[in-house]
Amino acid sequence: MAPHAEQLTRPAVQLRGLTRSFDGHTVLDGIDLDLPAGQFTALLGHSGSGKSTLLRAVAGLDHEVAGSGQLTAPSRVSVVFQDSRLLPWQRVLDNVLLGLDGKEAERRGRAALAEVGLAGRERAWPNELSGGEAQRAALARSLVREPELLLADEPFGALDALTRIRMHTLLRELWERHRPSVLLVTHDVDEAIVLADRVLVLDEGRIGLDLTIDRPHPRSYRDPLLGEYRERL
């Protein structure tokens, strides 16, 4: 039987009236948000606007927020942070496999490392990796879990500009190949426009702006289209 149309279009993430306060200070003020399955979305906002708070809520890492409204998210969620959070006492492959056992998992771990450009570094220690390589390993650790939803909180924020651009290409390629829903938190306007198909701006506890990046999509920092989108933000 053909699936019901509603099931086909059901969003991967659905938030209704999500609210979060700290010490009487409201950070999320009734957030309503749908993220369609497979969409690459960026979330912009000034420092302290609540981007990480929202991402933690969607990741299911915030128990306080749970009762405040409605939150629906897939069961397989991976999170990448600004620092790779690799365990320094585990080799790169063991970090990627953390919690997974068996030959098949190992095969997938090696494949994930190859996919992010770290073939041959399986037995390296985290402190032997550059910042960019550590983030590649963090992406491999996510990838191997085949997430339906990939949450990334300023994953390239600590990298130099050139490395960051290489990581943009990698993340976009991984997304095109595996098609998870992505929510990328960033404060870099150009990064948001170049990478995502939809850009949200968090402002005063609400989604203040919801911009679709149409085709042709600016794909590099030199694309003149970038300026046009920047002006709309």
Residues that bind ligand ADP (CB under 6 A): 22, 27, 45, 47-53
Residue number of the CB closest to Mg ion reads 52
Smallest gap from residue 46 Cβ to Mg ion (A): 10
Q: What share of the chain is helix, strand, coil (3-state, %, to 5)?
A: 35, 25, 40
Smallest gap from residue 71 Cβ to ligand ADP (A): 16
* Residues 134, 165 contacting (CB under 8 angstroms): no
Strands across the sheet with 181-185, in order? 77-80, 149-153, 181-185, 40-44, 198-203, 206-212
Cis omega (within 30 of 0) for bond into 155: no
Cα–Cα separations (whole angstroms), residue 109 to 76, 92, 106, 116 = 17, 10, 5, 11
CB nearer ligand ADP, residue 26 or residue 130: 26
CB nearer ligand ADP, residue 10 or residue 187: 187
68 binds, among Mg ion, ligand ADP, none (CB under 5 to 8 A by kind): none
CB nearer ligand ADP, residue 39 or residue 49: 49
Smallest gap from residue 153 Cβ to Mg ion (A): 6
Smallest gap from residue 66 Cβ to ligand ADP (A): 15
Binding site for Mg ion (CB under 5 A): 51-52
Cα four-point dihedral sign 126, 128, 132, 133: negative
CB nearer ligand ADP, residue 28 or residue 112: 28
